Structure 1
Amino acid sequence: PLPLSYVVHDGPSRHTPLLLLHGLFGSKSNFQSLAKVLVHRTGRKVLTVDARNHGESPHSPLLTYEAMSSDVQHLLRQLRLNRCVVIGHTMGGKTAMALALQRPELVECLVSVDVSPTKTTAASKFPTYISAMTSVNIPNGIPRSTARRLAEEQLRPTIQEAAIRQFLLTNLVESEGRYLWRVNLEAISQHLVDIMNFPDFQLPYPRPALLGGNSSKDYAEIERLFPEAEIEYVPNAGHWVHVDQPQIFTDAICRFL
């Protein structure tokens, strides 16, 4: 396991803390606003975490759900937490489900956003994103605002959606006068099939779960692996549910808790 980068948002409650896991190409910064809202509404301690090969966490050539689950287990031991509530978005949601199925005693309950415990099919654009990001070429020693503008201009011909460009650009960082991507594009490219798939588990998770954004074709597998799961749809929301409908999203989590 790798030592993950994390931020603790402290709350006064002694209830089980919440652990927020981001999606592919994301980082713990994606959930800073949500973490503050959840601390305010629940009183619980909330941890936002960078997955391996993302944000400020270490890089590794390995990027599978078993490995990412192992990283979270290591973090819980490091923080001396006997259990947590895990909330994950897409890749983070699958990591949360893998952790719950591997080590159910560590997960009091889980929330998985916009992903099911099945193969993800809508992945055709990810290789395009990786190729476009790899092709970006930025001169050394220029201001960050200029570097970001140049990077966006180079991404625009391939990635037309402005919101996706802005999301990917959160990974552009400066190191010793050079601009680079903090996300490990090579590892993601090598393990894209693993990220889109889901490990084969036999024993179900016996505790409550809240899942959303699932196709009806996934119901049988959800029921097999998560027999206590509730499924909730958030209206008028796209992939980033917590951004599109923050009030409805946090209401759903608080009701579930």
Structure 2
Amino acid sequence: MAKIGSSIFDSAFYARTLAKWARVARLARASDLAALRRQRLRARQLKAHLDELIHVADERLALPLVGSSSFPKPHNADWAWRPELWRGPLPKPGISSVQTRSMLGDEVTLFHDCAYSELTLRQLRNLREEDLAPYGLRMDVFRFDGSFLSLVLDLPTDGVTGLKKSHLVRMDAIIELEKPIEIFARLNIKNGPNTEQLVRELPMNAPQVTVEFDLAYSNLNERRVESAWIDLIFEGPEMNEVTLRDLTFSRRPRAQI
């Protein structure tokens, strides 16, 4: 009986709240400015929570039905991560005439030196049966008069905490190209005044590619690690469509001999 009463109360409260905000919106053009200012503040506070709920709900309910954080990883991995762009819908799903240092979401930044940008970035929904990531990223490049083009992803704090020279950092990607180009991945690790850089060329003989960065070959100062990021560098990208269906990262301690 308590559950039935609670359900009826919740429904009635929701109906009253919905009716209240519908009325506020309907009368907004005639409201006095002081009241309108208070209503705007409350609406923005409410919208922030609603946007968060919608983002999480869309992420959990999105196709593919498998969990958005589910992907193959080494059995002894001590950290694994799929960036937000590939997990759930972004509030702003695309950008045209993308300027350098433009961000799509909170983790992906595009860098280039074009005098005039004919680049577009947009998030797309993955619907193929073989896709594990609910979303992907498509980059269209038309005329390109620059000398470099790169996508930069900042690695989260938990991927950097405890990072050691004994770690292997792995990147897995599913990439579709309209025409073949060379793509390089560069791992950057800021430690104190120095930044260690390890570069790998992506083997583009298949859509699904894997590269590993062995930190044993770096001069990493483990006690001073501050942050890390990945550059995806595209060589000769003009008149091409690049689709990153999935992008995941993991790390594991290398085997001790």
- Same fold? TM cut 0.5: no
Larger radius of gyration: 2
When normalised by structure 2's length, the TM-score is 0.23
- Between Structure 1 and Structure 2, the one with more helix by share is 1
Q: Which structure: greater strand fraction?
A: 2
TM-score (norm 1): 0.23
